[in-house]
Structure 1
Amino acid sequence: MKQLLRALKRCSVIAAVALATVSLQPSGASAAPNPVVGGTRAAQGEFPFMVRLSMGCGGALYAKDIVLTAAHCVNGSGNNTSITATAGVVDLQSSSAVKVKSTKVLQAPGYNGKGKDWALIKLAKPIEQPTLKIATTTAYNQGEFTIAGWGAATEGGAQQRYLLKAKVPYVSDADCQSAYGSDLVPGEELCAGLLATGGIDTCQGDSGGPMFRKDNAGAWIQVGIVSWGQGCAQAGYPGVYSEVSTFASAIASAAATL
């Protein structure tokens, strides 16, 4: 069961023409009750750092020419020109969408499917949108977080044309371990969701997208990366996110090499 849960990543494969998708793993892929399961449509420009990746994942602009996403969304490290990043819009079909090809991918060193679920994608040219700073301490790993993505709005559902958003509360490591046992990697993963009732979560297609909140200065700061979970928005099973602060130094060092 634990191996199955870990396999339930929140990514999906998008057909070239339509937004139809095939879930690669039945679990936490990117879907949220309404956005992200249980969400509402984001306004144009509300989260300008959001990026949609052509393999069926989300991401955020770490730098204007680097996207931070999940390790399970990519296949290893090296030169890669097969990924298209779409940014600058909430409507993926908008004529204003900015589309830029990748040049390189750097998957977290030592990634083996459990923990360390982060990766960087170097872009062929900068995207002129605001970037999303990442947390470097655990100070912001509490309270209420915002999640956003173009993933399924229901478990097993189709990908969304418009960016959806929702808010989810922090779930302690102890409560998360009660759900997932040793499959959770405390210190490398952070959990959030409505534990008792479910109903709001990321889902298939949201993998790699950011979980973020306001810092003490009122600016957005990324605390998590959509990783995995049991289904989407199920009661008793919160979403699991890579704990960004744990990897902040490694991410910065890796970005400097791209």
Structure 2
Amino acid sequence: MKNTVKHLKRATALSAVALAAFSLSPSAASAAPDDKPGAAPGSKVVGGTPAEQGEFPFMVRLSMGCGGSLLTQDIVLTAAHCVDGSGKDTSITATAGVVDLEDPAAVKVNSTEILQAPGYNGTGKDWALIKLAKPIDQPTLPIAGDDSLNSGDFTIAGWGADKEGGDQQRYLLKAQVPFVDDATCKSAYPDLVEGEELCAGKLDTGGVDTCQGDSGGPMFRKDDSGNLVQVGIVSWGDGCARPGKPGVYTEVSTFASDIKAAADKLGG
């Protein structure tokens, strides 16, 4: 497994089980240290900027500490390492529809069932679906059906830690990360699962990345028609935003047919 002291899943332990949470990396999108809790997000965001209300309406924060995206209005796509197997589960609350997690307009819906990627063992196949008790009336995020969008610059967004070992964030933040090819990424991570994992980040300088609390959240970009499409799921990496250590994401296009079949099984 990559969930070791060195190769950390981008998770936040919020319960007896260390589960993952989606948010931006230290530099990727974080409020400055002098921003007081409960204050509006300041202008000092390291490597990212606050998202506007409604900019990414498909974003979901999960109560166990993960992020996710609305695959359908009643199914959340997240990381396999965020959940503990498959089956009925009403313990997770999905929060959506807001950039401020304390906004009274936030929509909160409980889970009913989880479907973890078949065969997931901690390496590769890092995707899972969470069925919700009722639909969330927000736009969904389509997933890439092939690898044609697996290059260029990607967007990451979330509520996670503002730095390695930092606090989770109240406000949704966003940043851009460039594609890193498999050969280059494998030199940083020899155990990269090529074809199942996709890398992105600023190799030379670091400073922009996903981090603990970001797991399960989407990495996405525009297609040729200008529509946002999900190409990755936040998975793991060495620390956060370190030079030479890009973030590693589940390669969504590889599992697109499996994800869609699983969603059909859940009744999405």
Query: What is the TM-score normalised by the length of structure 2?
Result: 0.89
1:31: Cα distance to partner? 2.7
Q: Which SS does the other structure have where 1:176 is aligned?
A: helix
Q: Deviations over 1:88-111 (max 9, x none)?
A: 000000000000000000000000
List runs of 5+ in structure 1 lacking aligned partners. 16-21
Q: Tell me how far apart the structure 1 counterparts of residues 143 and 64 of structure 2 sit (CA, whole Å).
A: 23
Q: Tell me how far apart the structure 1 counterparts of residues 17 and 105 of structure 2 sit (CA, whole Å).
A: 28
Partner of 1:186: 194
Partner of 2:151: 142
Native 8 Å contact 1:12 1:23 kept in 2: no
Change beyond 3 A, Cα 1:116–1:43: same
- The aligned runs of 1:105-124 (5 Å cut-off) are 105-124=114-133
Change beyond 3 A, Cα 1:200–1:222: same
Q: Tell me how far apart the structure 1 counterparts of residues 10 and 17 of structure 2 sit (CA, whole Å).
A: 8
Residue number among 233, 248, 257 corresponding to 2:256 in the alignment: 248
How many pairs align? 250
Native 8 Å contact 2:19 2:65 kept in 1: no
Partner of 2:25: 31
Q: Tell me how far apart the structure 2 counterparts of residues 57 and 204 of structure 1 sit (CA, whole Å).
A: 9
Q: Tell me how far apart the structure 2 counterparts of residues 239 and 211 of structure 1 sit (CA, whole Å).
A: 11
1:3: Cα distance to partner? 6.5
Partner of 2:89: 80
Question: Identity over aligned residues, as a percent?
Answer: 69
Q: Which SS does the other structure have where 1:8 is aligned?
A: strand
- The aligned runs of 1:23-172 (5 Å cut-off) are 24=18, 31-35=25-29, 38-172=47-181
Q: Which SS does the other structure have where 1:253 is aligned?
A: helix
Native 8 Å contact 2:19 2:83 kept in 1: no
Partner of 1:18: none
1:164: Cα distance to partner? 0.7
Asked if 1:4 corresponds to 2:12, the answer is no
Change beyond 3 A, Cα 1:150–1:201: same
Q: Deviations over 1:7-32 (max 9, x none)?
A: 510111348xxxxxx99499x99633
Native 8 Å contact 1:11 1:23 kept in 2: no
Q: Tell me how far apart the structure 2 counterparts of residues 117 and 2 of structure 1 sit (CA, whole Å).
A: 11
Q: Could you tell me which amino acid in structure 1 is paired with residue 26 of structure 2?
A: A
Q: Could you tell me which amino acid in structure 1 is paired with residue 201 of structure 2?
A: G
Residue number among 228, 241, 249 corresponding to 1:233 in the alignment: 241
1:38: Cα distance to partner? 2.2
Q: Which SS does the other structure have where 1:249 is aligned?
A: helix
Q: Which SS does the other structure have where 2:60 is aligned?
A: strand
Which 4+ stretches in 1 moved above 3 angstroms? 22-26
Q: Tell me how far apart the structure 2 counterparts of residues 83 and 210 of structure 1 sit (CA, whole Å).
A: 18
